[in-house]
Amino acid sequence: MLASIYTVLAAGMKYWFLLLAALMVWLLISSSTKEYRERKAVLGEIGEYIGYLEILRGLPEAKGARIGITRDNTIGSGRNADIVIRHPSVQKSHAMIYLKGKKLILSPLTKGVTRINGRRADNAYAVRSGDVITLGAVEVKVYIRPELERAVC
Amino acid sequence: MLKLTKQSAKAILFLQQLFILSAFGLLTIRNGQPDLMAAAMGGAVCLFNLLQYNILRTAFRHLDRFVLLAAQFLWSVGLIVMYRIRPEYAFRQGIFLIVSTFAAVIMMLIIRRSKDFGKWNWVFMALAVMLLGSTLVLSRAIGGAKNWIDIGPFSFQPSEFAKILFIMGSAYFLSTRDKLTSFIPYIAFTGICVLLLVAARELGTGLLLCGTFLVLFFAATGRTLLTMLGVGVFGAGAFASYHLFSHVQTRVNIWRDPWSSYNAEGYQIVQGLMALASGGLFGVGLGKGMPGVIPASHTDYIFSVIGEEFGILFAAIVIIFYLVFIVRGMLIALNAENIYDALLAFGCTCMLSLQGFIIIGGVIKLIPLTGITLPFISYGGSSLLSSMIQLGIIEGVALKNGKREEKELRMMGADVR
């Protein structure tokens, strides 16, 4: 009895095994390529960053958060800004931070408060790693990748 | 905020468990009465894979899970086929599997912490030559090849461990030297290893070392002309050994026409081919084939047993699993921080894939048959241990990469899951 059940099962289950193996290999390939693509995209974006801004004061819920900066960014509370800082004291387009030559330049765009290390900035100024920028009531610290910083000095 | 998430592999693991359980479930009723041993074995294999995957993933956050899952499927198929041929083989292989998992973990820990081993590589190289030389003195012959050494109740195959030492020596030399003359000790070392292997009649492993050497040399230096010269020297060596050694001639002759010596040397190849042919596309069903008539059906010829009972389509999927393994291994190598790590991971990937190609090619009569094992699937403690150590090296490099990437991502404020 068992022997005949086995014969039938063995003949039928070979398709089941094939199906399982094919599904497994398909899942393995698809999830592995998906993970690879996502990783590449994230790492590519990180590779674009020339440094980051670390939030020091003014936004208690985001204290210590790091925001990557690329070669060219606008900072503001508006939706169109590259770096969005939601705070009533921050203007919609508050300032720009960009790479000019090998220097990182901070340039205020509005009459709102913009300070570098406590001194009011009315025009564009170069910033370095460790400088503290005040935008309205929010303080952020600049960090530039060491390899870029070295090229400046 | 940027986020790096890992894809879930739970579905793959679930399908794998389903596969193992249903295959062992089928084996349970094979003999007309319930064989509870098969059910127990199936449960044990499932539990082992599940525990191994989860423990390793928790212990090492940056483990490359896809490489591990591919290897897990391969050895599960091996255990199923071995249990079907003779349950004792599967039990012993299971114990080897547990032991070699620990070896792989130890290797991962070593590779994760280490840079290249510097002066120690000379010791590794000497050890490799000694291991290969020892077979000539102390060995007993299995199937014409003198490659086994008995120590008390255990017997092991020194060439399997010489392979790993060879990869480590290669990675060291090719990453630290760039002048041609400084490669001379390394080239001499390769030559001696291959000669010792040919003298021990271990042609498969000799071919494997030659192939790995050429691929690694080309990958590391990018010199086309020199690599072609190497291929030429290798071809000349193969031609010379064909004329010098009778056992090489026999191998080539039975490859060209196994049917004329069906009752003698060609028997194994012919049986293997007939098994593949009788399996057809979908196979005859697990337990319905006749692996008993194929010599070495549980070691070198396990691929033809898979082809017979599961069908050639399934066998092709097994090959795709090897391909997934290879591609992931290469990605890990490409992603490595320094050339030494890259060559280490690439060397192991290359060694495993060439090994699979040489034996599968031999079984399907694409190239002359040289007896080596199918990595992860074939029965054999030394072979499995060596494959697992190579898996450990690849994973170790993956761990290093993951740690470096995480540091970079965290610095720029991205999140890693």
Taking 3-state DSSP, the helix, strand and coil percentages for chain A, each rounded to the nearest 5, stand at: 35, 30, 30
Instruction: Work out the pLDDT band at B151, boundaries 50, 70, 90.
Output: low
A65 shares contact with chain B (CB less than 8 Å): yes
Interface residue A29 vs chain B (CB under 8 A)? yes
Cβ contact (<8 Å) for A13 and B11?
no
> A20 and B331: CB-CB below 8 Å?
no
SS (H, E, C) B68-83: HHHHHHHHHHHHHHHH
Using CA atoms, how far apart are residues A74 and A82, in angstroms rounded to an integer? 5
Residues near A150 by Cβ (< 8 Å), separated by ≥ 6?
none
Q: Do B405 and A13 touch (CB under 8 A)?
A: no
- Please say whether the beta carbons of B35 and B29 come within 8 A: yes
- Residue B357 DSSP SS3: helix
Which 3 state secondary structure label does DSSP give B366?
coil
Query: Residue A67 pairs with which residues in a beta bridge?
Result: A53
Residues shown for chain B: 417
* Residue-wise pLDDT tens digits, B206-232: 899 999 999 999 998 888 898 999 999
Structure tokens at A107: 């340039």
* Residue pointed to by tokens 């720029």: B412
Task: Decide if pLDDT at A53 tops 60.
Answer: yes
CB pair distance less than 8 Å for A68 and B285: no
User: Which is more confidently placed, B185 or B136?
Assistant: B185
Note whether A42 contacts B414, CB cutoff 8 Å.
Answer: yes
Nearest to B412 among A17, A18, A49 (CB): A49
Residue B140, H or E segment: strand B140-142
pLDDT for B369 equals 86
DSSP codes joined into one string, B31-67: TSS--HHHHHHHHHHHHHHHHHHHHHHHH-TT--HHH
Q: Would you state the pLDDT for residue A64? A: 82
Whole-prediction pTM: 0.89
CA distances from B299 to B104, B164, B357, B359 (A): 21, 20, 15, 10
Burial class (CB in 10 A: 0-12, 13-18, 19+), B237: middle
How many helices (H) and strands (E) would you count in chain B? Answer: 15, 5
Q: Give DSSP secondary structure letters for A57-120.
A: ES-GGGTT-EEEE-SEEEEESSTT-SEE---TTS-SS-EEEEEETTEEEEEE-SSS-EEETTEE
- How would you classify residue A58: left for phi > 0, otherwise alpha for psi between -120 and 50, otherwise beta? left
Which ranges of B335-411 does DSSP label H, i.e. alpha helix? 339-363, 381-411
* Mutate which: B26, B30, B282, B410, vs A, most A CBs within 10 A: B26
Which pLDDT value is given to residue A150?
A: 67
Q: Give the HSE-up count for residue B54: Cα atoms under 13 Å, Cβ half-sphere.
A: 8
Query: What is the average pLDDT across B111-125?
Result: 86
Q: Which amino acid is at B401?
A: N
Write the pLDDT tens digit of every residue in B338-383: 899 999 999 999 999 999 999 999 999 999 888 889 999 999 889 9
Given this model, what pLDDT does residue B146 score? 56
Strand partners, A144: A51
The residue among B403, B409, B6, B405 whose CA lies nearest residue A49 is: B409
The answer to whether the Cβ–Cβ distance between A5 and B29 falls below 8 Å is yes
Mean pLDDT in residue range B390-400: 95
**Cβ within 8 Å, pair B317-A28:** no
Q: How far away is chain B from the Cα of A17, in angstroms, using its nearest Cα?
A: 7
**3-state secondary structure at position B293:** helix
For the cut 70, the answer to whether the pLDDT of residue B261 exceeds it is yes
On whether any CB of chain B is under 8 Å from the CB of A141, the answer is no
More confident residue, B155 or B335: B335
For residue A92, the distance in angstroms to the closest alpha carbon of chain B comes to 20
Closest CA to B87 of B336, B383, B329, B287: B287
Cα first-last separation, chain A: 87
Count how many pairs of residues, chain A against chain B, have C-beta atoms within 8 Å: 124
List the one residue out of B311, B305, B327 whose CA is nearest residue B377: B305
pLDDT band at B4 (very low <50, low <70, confident <90, very high): confident
Q: Which residue of B has its CA nearest to A13?
A: B285
Q: How many CB atoms lie within 10 A of CB B33?
A: 10
Band of pLDDT at residue A125, cut at 50, 70 and 90: confident
Smallest CA–CA separation between A74 and chain B, in Å? 16
Tell me the per-residue pLDDT of B12-65, one tens digit each, with 9 for 90 and over.
Answer: 999 999 999 999 999 998 887 888 899 999 999 999 999 999 999 999 988 999
Q: Domain map of chain B by residue range?
A: 2-411
Residue A29 near residue B397, CB atoms below 8 Å: no
Q: Which residue has the tokens 């060559």?
A: B343
Chain A interface disruption, residue of B7, B53, B290, B305, most A CBs within 10 A: B7
C-alpha torsion A133→A135→A139→A140, nearest 10: -50
**C-alpha distances in angstroms, B230 versus B171, B212, B413?**
18, 12, 49
Chain A residues close to B331, C-beta within 8 Å: 36
Q: Does A152 touch chain B (CB under 8 A)?
A: no
Min Cα separation A111/chain B (Å): 29
Going from the C-alpha of B266 to that of each of A97, B251, B276, B305, B325, the distances in angstroms are: 76, 9, 16, 17, 33
Alpha-carbon separation of residue B199 from A15, B145, B151, B212, B244 (angstroms): 46, 9, 22, 19, 11
| A28/B19 touch (CB, cutoff 8 Å), yes or no | no
What count of other Cβ atoms lies within 10 Å of the Cβ of residue B319?
13
Q: A151 falls in which pLDDT band (50, 70, 90)?
A: low
Residue B416 pLDDT greater than 80, yes or no: no
Name the closest residue on chain A to residue B70, using Cα atoms: A28
